[in-house]
Amino acid sequence: MAVHLTPTELAREAGMHRREVIARCMELGVPIFQGRIDKTLFLASLAHSQPSATTSAAGASARV
């Protein structure tokens, strides 16, 4: 299984558009080296940047 994918391949696997993958790489600081992106780093960065539903729910209930 390949780990370094083109933006098109990564978009297909992540269920995103190619332009969105490139934009998120730029936003999250994930390097694109020789036209390839590290799938593991991209998905981990993407997951880390999005707040989880349990964290949001826990924070909301603590404020009540």
- Exposed / middle / buried, residue 57 (Cβ in 10 Å: 0-12, 13-18, 19+): exposed
pLDDT single digits (tens) 4-56: 999 999 999 999 999 999 999 999 999 999 999 999 999 999 999 988 655 55
User: 51 and 60 in contact (C-beta within 8 Å)?
Assistant: no
Q: What are the residue boundaries of the structural domains of the chain, listed by start?
A: 4-52
Q: What is the pTM of this model?
A: 0.74
